[in-house]
Every structure is written in C-alpha cells, then in structure tokens.
Amino acid sequence: MKHVLICAFALVGLVSACSSSESAKTASTTAVTTAPVAVTDPPSTEPAATNPAATEPADTAPSASEPVATEPAATTPADTEPAGTQPAVTDPAPPETEALAPSDPLDDLDQDGAVDEKCGTADLGGGLIVNTLCNEFLVPTPENGVTPTAQSVLNIPSPGWPDLDNVDANVKVATTTDGRRVAIYILGSDALFDSGKDRLRTTSEPPLAAVVASIQQRFPGGTIVVRGAADSVGDAAANQSLSERRAASVRDKLVALGLDAATITSLGLGASVPAAEEANPDGTVSDIGRQVNRRVEIAVLA
C-alpha cells in the first residue's frame, strides 16, 4: 500500500512537472511569436514620414503658379522687341522718295518740287524722239494763226532762259527716250537765208552768235546736230536738197563762231517734218504756217 501511495505521488509530481514544462514551453513560444510583431510595428506605422526620398520630390517641385515668363530665355531681345521697331519694317526706302526730287531745274519746269511726269513721245524726225509732259500748262501758246502739228517741236516746253531775248530765235528743252537731255534752238530760215538760197545773210550772225554763247555756257562738250527744214511748196526733192545745204551752211558758221567741228553734224529734213499746219481750218493757205516750217533747228544733246 505504501508503495502504491509513493507511486501515486510520484506520478502526480511527474505530471505536474510535465505540465510546468509544457507551460514554460508555451510561454516561450508565445514570446517568440509576438516578438517580431513588436519589432515590425514602427516601420509599418510611419512609412511616408520616415522616407525622405519619397516625400522630397513632392515638396520641392515648382508649382504651376511660379513665374516662368521671367526666365532669361523668355525675355531675350528677339522675343520682346516689337515687330514695328524692326529696321526693315519702319525704315522707308530712300531711293523711291529721293527719285521724286528733281536734281536739275529742267526736270521741274512747273516748279512743284517733283520731276515732271511724262505722258508720251513726239517724233521730231531725223531719229530724234523726245518725251512729252503730262502737264498741258507747260505747252507754249503758239503764235496767232499758227496751228502746231501733233508731233510739232513747237509743243516742247521752253526753259525761260534770257539767252535769246534780243534775237529772233527760241529754245526748247526735253529728254530723249533714252534719258538724254536735249535743247533745240529754233531759227527761222527767212532770217538766215534769202528765198531759195543756201548762203547765209549777214543778218544771220547775231542770232547764231547768241546760240553759240548759250551752248558754250549750258552744254559745253555737247553733241550738236544742225537740222534744216522746208515748207511743202515746190518739188519735194528740191526742198530736201535745199534743207541739207542750208543745214551745212549753219554748221560751218557755228564752227567759225567757236564750236568744235568734231561735235557738229548736219542733216536735211525737207518738208517731211512740218512744225505747223500749212492750211487754215477753212482750207485756205496758212502763210504763217509755211513760214514756221521754213526753219533751222540746232539740237544739242547733253
């Protein structure tokens, strides 16, 4: 019996010991299991606050309201300079405005400060074609009873020079179609020659001398063409020959009065280039028209 009790107590102690051992083991296991939770709790509670790399870009990136137009690239002169200040836009073309200003008084006969406008041409014969002007007020008023032809030298403006005030001669100025200045001195053949003759009269010297002085003063070195013309009375061939001989006589006289022979030529126009109509409106003969057509022209190309 005693042995049975001893064994019973021994079994109870063994069970108690085993139970204590299991409790300790369970407690140990529980501690191991909960320990990682206690260690991992801090990182899982503040991930954004403790991670600078994740939060810094959001804090430092420029906002949409920050000024961008003030950056240097946006304020360069090429971007900010008004288009209207560009030299090519605001500067006028000087050649166009300066071209309107006359450089010679003969280019501004109406004295309005601009070059006289051209509106056509006039064929004066012998290869001489000149520009005509738009301003009809510059066309000289013809003598009483004289009706200029459409292509008449009488329609060419006069410069108003005093060179020929005291002689029976006048002068016209124009430009040729190739832009050369031409002055045309006109003398009546009746003042230079006897009827049907080609020898100069003594009374021819004063007007011819005045013409020479004017040419020497205004067109030194100019090219001169003496042009003889006749009326329509008589034979056309005879008139042509007479006009040629008269032009040659005047050429020789101009040389004798001091002009360079190398610069002067002569030609005859005959009756082919009338300056005035030889018939009146009623069909009768215009004596003054015929007289005007009997002439010598001294054309000087500057």
Reduced to 3 states (helix: H, G, I; strand: E, B; else coil), residue 224 is strand
What does CATH list as the number for 95-301? 3.30.1330.60
Predicted confidence band of residue 102 (pLDDT cuts 50, 70, 90): confident
**Separation between Cα atoms, residue 15 and residue 10, nearest integer Å:** 9
pLDDT tens column, 243-297: 999 999 999 999 999 999 999 999 999 999 999 999 999 999 999 999 999 999 9
Instruction: Give backbone dihedrals phi and psi of 297, rounded to 5 degrees, phi first.
Output: -110, 135
Cβ atoms 263, 159 nearer than 8 A: no
pLDDT tens column, 146-162: 999 999 999 999 999 99
pLDDT tens column, 213-232: 999 999 999 999 999 999 99
Region 197-201: mean pLDDT is: 97
> Which pLDDT score is estimated for 55?
42
pLDDT tens column, 23-73: 444 333 333 333 343 334 444 444 444 444 434 444 444 444 444 444 444
Question: When comparing pLDDT for 251 and 18, which is higher?
Answer: 251
Mean pLDDT score across all residues of the chain? 78
Q: How distant, in Å, are the alpha carbons of 205, 219, 259 from that of 162?
A: 18, 15, 21
Which one, of 190, 187, 212, 211, lies nearest residue 201 by Cα? 190
Residue 79 has pLDDT above 70, yes or no: no
- Name the token pair of 261: 């022979």
